[in-house]
Structure 1
Amino acid sequence: MNDAPVRLGDAAEVAAACSGDALVLWGAQAMGPGVRAWALGEAVAVACPDLNRRDRLTVYGEPGAVSALVERAWAEVGPSYRVTGTRALVEEVVARTPRMRMRVLGSFEWMDTPAGALSADLPGHADPGPGRVGWLDAAEEEQVSALLARAAPSAWAVPGVAGVRRWAGVRDDDGRLVAVAADAWSCPPVGFLAGVGVAPASRGRGYGERVCRFVLGELAAVHERVALMVDTGNHAAIALYERLGLRGRPLAAAAPDGA
């Protein structure tokens, strides 16, 4: 292993260093503005500002090398960048570097699948199902905000947030918006689904599955993989995403005490 971290210059170098890991590729956001990346041996850390409403330091590899990369990254970009990676890795980095005074902030699930595998099961907007589904106009985003305020008030993707590109919705037979989901924080290698919400009075009728099928199918048509994050305790959502073909792994985030 090299003695010191090295800077990675572009998205291809990041992909090679992390063996094409989908989480790291998403965290790198194609090495867009403000993104920095480092490698040490077979470990990688990528600092991306304002990704999924946080400055994120996505990590991958052997815990000792990752710890060194975290120190190097924080020296350059500051400790506002939350360490994000597989749960076991983040917990090990926190445990073995007490001088960094880190704490685990929470755990959640990353779910993804190759676009080709998903496309076979998701014909997108052609898939029959309840309600009329499609991309919404900007003028309809006020309705999206109102629905999410009732259905998913803790959603990270909401209209107006940086990185949220577009919204899809399902309307019932009376024209009411009953389910929404967003294409948010996507990058060429990874299309990302977020902001899923179903009106409380309309749950259990297949609307949520309908809008997720549509967005995932649309993302699969233009990205190499599709992915999302979901709370560990949201068992109903996890079961739905597994039924749609995604597979998960537990993640965690960590930051210095007081950050």
Structure 2
Amino acid sequence: MLTSDDPLIIWAADQPGARVFTRPGAVAVVCPDLARHDRMPVHGDPGAVAALLREVLPLAGPTFRPLGDESLMTAVAERLPMIEVAGRFGWMDTATAPSATAGQQPHWLGSGELPEVTALLDEASPETYARPGGSGVARWAGVRDADGTLLAVAADAWSSGRVGFLAGVATAERARGRGLAAALCAFVTRELLVGRDRVALFVDHWNSAALATYKKLGFALRPVAAARRS
């Protein structure tokens, strides 16, 4: 039974194959192949989460990495020598639909347009987790130039029933600085909020341009961290 209203936990718990483990003051979700990794989002009191992970980590297997608030994961790692903090990044989410941007016309792309998405990602964002045809990647939106050239893309990927997830945002190098990513992310966010509580995404702390764009669209930043077996 899910005992947390944490959006990160809700997002993971509603994914295919997810298993939820709870103890007083702690919850962990063992979720395979979530955003291309076996993840284990956790939430609760550091002592209770550490105790729960002592039980759950051996059951989950070595590929699953605990994930949660940065302060929580730091405190849990101090109590649990079997893990160490390995990566720090950001979870951002919003429950408010951003306004449409005048002059831009983002739209959902058809299956025949996916090779263009792949080509744009190969050029502009080769390390993105969301790729056409990837597990959990549902659909792609894009913005085209007047001549029909695809200039920017973003994906609806790993969305759950209550939390939409935005991923794979990329803009062709020659089209950057024109507000295309902002317009596209606003469109996808509005679409994903229909029937859901909120929309979320992962972001790297160093990506100041992306952080600024998402904050302008109403996304709030939450520092998170992932741990690995030590």
Q: State the TM-score bracket (shorter-chain normalisation).
A: over 0.9
Tell me the amino acid that sits aligned with residue 251 of structure 1. V
Superposition pairs for residues 1-259 of structure 1, below 5 Å?
A: 13-14=1-2, 17-18=3-4, 20-28=5-13, 30=14, 32-98=15-81, 100=82, 102-114=83-95, 118-119=96-97, 121-123=98-100, 127-130=101-104, 132-257=105-230
In the alignment, the residues of structure 2 paired with residue 60 and residue 187 of structure 1 have an alpha-carbon distance, to the nearest angstrom, of 18
Cα offset, 1:27, TM superposition = 1.5
In the alignment, the residues of structure 2 paired with residue 204 and residue 198 of structure 1 have an alpha-carbon distance, to the nearest angstrom, of 9
Cα offset, 1:235, TM superposition = 1.0
Cα offset, 1:72, TM superposition = 1.6
Tell me the amino acid that sits aligned with residue 129 of structure 1. G
In the alignment, the residues of structure 2 paired with residue 145 and residue 93 of structure 1 have an alpha-carbon distance, to the nearest angstrom, of 39
User: TM-score scaled to structure 1, two decimals?
Assistant: 0.86
> Which runs of 5 or more structure 1 residues have no equivalent in the other structure?
1-12
Deviates more, 1:66-75 or 1:211-220: 66-75
Q: Over residues 139-159 of structure 1, what are the superposed CA-to-partner deviations in whole Å (9 max), with x where a residue is unaligned?
A: 111110110111111111111
Cα offset, 1:174, TM superposition = 1.1
Cα offset, 1:179, TM superposition = 0.2
In the alignment, the residues of structure 2 paired with residue 33 and residue 185 of structure 1 have an alpha-carbon distance, to the nearest angstrom, of 10
In the alignment, the residues of structure 1 paired with residue 107 and residue 17 of structure 2 have an alpha-carbon distance, to the nearest angstrom, of 33
Change over 3 Å in CA distance of 1:211–1:33 after alignment to 2: closer
Aligned partner of residue 173 in structure 1, secondary structure: coil
In the alignment, the residues of structure 1 paired with residue 28 and residue 103 of structure 2 have an alpha-carbon distance, to the nearest angstrom, of 42
**Conserved? CA contact 1:104–1:252, under 8 Å:** yes
Structural RMSD (CA): 1.2
**Conserved? CA contact 1:47–1:56, under 8 Å:** yes
In the alignment, the residues of structure 2 paired with residue 158 and residue 84 of structure 1 have an alpha-carbon distance, to the nearest angstrom, of 23
**Conserved? CA contact 1:122–1:216, under 8 Å:** no
**Conserved? CA contact 2:12–2:18, under 8 Å:** no
Q: Percent sequence identity over matched residues?
A: 48
In the alignment, the residues of structure 1 paired with residue 44 and residue 93 of structure 2 have an alpha-carbon distance, to the nearest angstrom, of 19
Cα offset, 1:122, TM superposition = 2.9
Going by fraction, where is helix more abundant, 1 or 2? Answer: 1
> Which runs of 5 or more structure 2 residues have no equivalent in the other structure?
none
Cα offset, 1:59, TM superposition = 0.2
**Conserved? CA contact 1:27–1:58, under 8 Å:** yes
Tell me the amino acid that sits aligned with residue 17 of structure 2. G
**Conserved? CA contact 1:157–1:194, under 8 Å:** yes
Cα offset, 1:236, TM superposition = 1.1
Tell me the amino acid that sits aligned with residue 59 of structure 1. V
